[in-house]
Amino acid sequence: MRILKVALLAGLAALTAMPAAAEYKEEYKISTVVPAPFPWGIAAEKWAELVGERTDGRIKMKVYPGAQLVSGDQTKEFTAMRRGIIDMAVGSTINWSPQIKELNLFSLPFLMPDYESIDVLTQGPVGEKLFAILRENGVEPLGWAENGYREVSNSKHPIRTPDDLKGLKMRVVGSPLFNDTFTALGANPTQMSWADAKPALTTGAVDGQENPLSVFTIAKMHEIGQTNLTLWHYVADPLIFAVNQDVWNSFSPEDQAIVRQAALDAGAVGIEVARKGLTGGDNSAIEEVRALGVEVIELTPEERQAFVDATRGVYADWKEKIGPEIVEMAEESIANR
Ligand code: X2X
């Protein structure tokens, strides 16, 4: 009798699972800008792997790096996901900020002095507010990973003072906020996708760029003339795991829970890799860059303050544009971290 009951229940479960499974796509496409072994690509791959394992292959996800699903234009990724042209993404706040102005928060110059500040934003009321905004805009946000603190490099000379940036042609991406920041520092910024950045650096069409150390090293920027690197920690870009709303709604509640938990777990892995050699007294990532023959400048607090002062006007302007309320919430979270 008992065995019969169990068999019946199992049969029922299989039956009820069937219609949902039948509606699932053969493959769900995850968009990223860079692939593994960049920490960003590792986070996305981990997400796909965990979901595959935990759904016994019911949900198959595949990473499409290089923003190839949006022809390399990473600033179109959010729109494409919202419209269902791509199913999912692990995306940088920078690349989604043209559509979601509040994501410019993380690009406010010198808002976040340390990793604790990033965490207190993503894991606190600010993160919740941003996720609510994303939800209102047609995607389901699930968790955070990290690209990292963006340090500035160039092919001409070491940068120690804002004056050293004068006249340098800088590749930036994503948002007019970056134009304003580099213009305030006396540089000549140009908006350009990641796909175009390396060729432009190689030919000398631009002199410099800003990106996390992991990106610098893995992309071998030292081989394309980027021999001066200044650690100024001016902004950092977290990454967000998100799914198109219709795709999300097509998943059963059990599968939604699995996909969300997998994003949280993959995010934790991604953040650990992104911070490797940069935290907890371990600065091996910095030494690694030095060993490549790059002159790495670490600013004194006074030297750094000169960059803060030079960009205060941009900060004030963009505080208004982003929304003073959320910026104040962020400032308060950081002050109380
Ligand atoms: O394009 C960049 O600089 C990168 C890879 O860091 C982003 O997508 C924000």
Domains in the chain: boundaries = 26-335
Q: Please classify residue 220 by burial: count the beta carbons closer than 10 Å to its beta carbon, then call 0-12 exposed, 13-18 middle and 19+ buried.
A: exposed
Does any ligand 1 atom lie closer than 6 A to the CB of residue 215?
yes
Residue appearing with tokens 């199913």: 87
Q: Give me the percent of the chain exceeding a pLDDT of 70.
A: 93
**Which atom of ligand 1 is nearest the CA belonging to 94?**
9
Does any ligand 1 atom lie closer than 6 A to the CB of residue 104?
no
Residue 257 has pLDDT above 70, yes or no: yes
**Which atom of ligand 1 is nearest the CA belonging to 150?**
6
> What pLDDT score does 174 carry?
84
Q: In angstroms, what CA-CA distances link 252 with 47, 109, 138?
A: 18, 42, 18
Beta strands, E only, the chain = 28-31, 61-64, 88-92, 139-154, 169-172, 188-191, 208-211, 228-244, 295-298
Q: Are the CB atoms for 94 and 245 separated by under 8 Å? A: no
Q: In angstroms, what CA-CA distances link 100 with 40, 46, 317, 321, 330?
A: 20, 26, 17, 11, 16
Does any ligand 1 atom lie closer than 6 A to the CB of residue 74?
yes
**Cα separation, 67 vs 77, whole angstroms:** 7
Helix (H, G, I), strand (E, B) or coil at 297: strand
**Which atom of ligand 1 is nearest the CA belonging to 40?**
5
The CATH fold assigned to 26-335 is D-Maltodextrin-Binding Protein; domain 2 (3.40.190)
Does any ligand 1 atom lie closer than 6 A to the CB of residue 94?
yes
Ligand 1 probe mutation, 70, 107, 147, most atoms within 8 A of CB: 147
Identify the DSSP state of 1: -
Beta strands, E only, 65-154 = 88-92, 139-154
Please name the residues in contact with 206: beta carbons below 8 A apart, sequence gap of 6 or more: 169, 170, 171, 190, 192, 197, 200
**Cα separation, 115 vs 324, whole angstroms:** 23
Residue appearing with tokens 């496409």: 29
State the DSSP string of 223-256: GGT--EEEEEEEEEEEEEEEEEHHHHHHS-HHHH
Characterise 238 by phi-psi region: left (phi > 0), alpha (psi -120 to 50), beta (else).
beta
What's the gap in Å between 24 CA and the centre of ligand 1? 31
The tens digit of pLDDT for each residue in 164-213 reads 999 999 999 988 999 999 999 999 999 999 999 999 999 999 999 999 99
Q: Are the CB atoms for 232 and 307 separated by under 8 Å? A: yes
Residue 21 has pLDDT above 80, yes or no: no
Does any ligand 1 atom lie closer than 6 A to the CB of residue 214?
no
Q: In angstroms, what CA-CA distances link 9 with 15, 198, 202?
A: 10, 58, 64
The tens digit of pLDDT for each residue in 88-138 reads 999 999 999 999 999 999 999 999 999 999 999 999 999 999 999 999 999
